[in-house]
């Protein structure tokens, strides 16, 4: 597609439920990132996928968070047993693979606003 597509755009869930957030990156982009943006805050790195390499999960805040990327394209971020502190906007970004000069700018999706009640 022309841009990074995320769905749903908004999600309200009850505490303790599991949620799945989807990201469809730009075609041809091999790098995919998930970030979390809490209200009025900066962007917190969660996880990184690059091609067929093992993902970098170092930013995941707890084992309730997991993500996968199927076929090197679509990614799903799953949050199990959601808590109120998980409420945030979850942003996905994709980029061309790293070059010798370093990675180029991300293209972000519009995010999924997750509210845990």
Partner 1 sequence: QQQVKQSPQSLIVQKGGISIINCAYENTAFDYFPWYQQFPGKGPALLIAIRPDVSEKKEGRFTISFNKSAKQFSLHIMDSQPGDSATYFCAASGRDTGRRALTFGSGTRLQVQP
Min dist CB 56 to partner 1, Å, is 4
Question: Which residues bind to partner 1, rule: CB under 8 A?
Answer: 4, 31, 33, 35, 40-43, 45, 48, 50, 56, 58-59, 91, 93, 98, 101-103, 105-111
Nearer to partner 1 among residue 6 and residue 82 (C-beta): 6
Nearer to partner 1 among residue 14 and residue 40 (C-beta): 40
Tell me, letter by letter, the H, E, C secondary structure of the chain. CCCCEEECCEEEECCCCCEEEEEECCCCCCEEEEEEECCCCCEEEEEEEECCCCCECCCCCCCCEEEEECCCCCEEEEECCCCHHHCEEEEEEEECCCECCECCCCEECCCEEEEEC
Min dist CB 21 to partner 1, Å, is 13
């Amino acid at each position: 597609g022309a841009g990074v597509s995320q769905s749903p755009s908004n999600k309200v869930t009850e505490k303790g439920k599991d949620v799945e957030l989807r990201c469809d990156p730009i075609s041809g982009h091999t790098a995919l990132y998930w970030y979390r943006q809490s209200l009025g805050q900066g962007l917190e790195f969660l996880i990184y996928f690059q091609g067929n390499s093992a993902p970098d999960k170092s930013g995941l805040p707890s084992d309730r968070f997991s993500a996968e990327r199927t076929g090197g394209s679509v990614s799903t971020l799953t949050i199990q047993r959601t808590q109120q502190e998980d409420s945030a906007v979850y942003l996905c970004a994709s980029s061309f693979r790293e070059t010798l000069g370093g990675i180029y700018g991300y293209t972000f999706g519009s995010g999924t606003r997750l509210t845990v009640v």
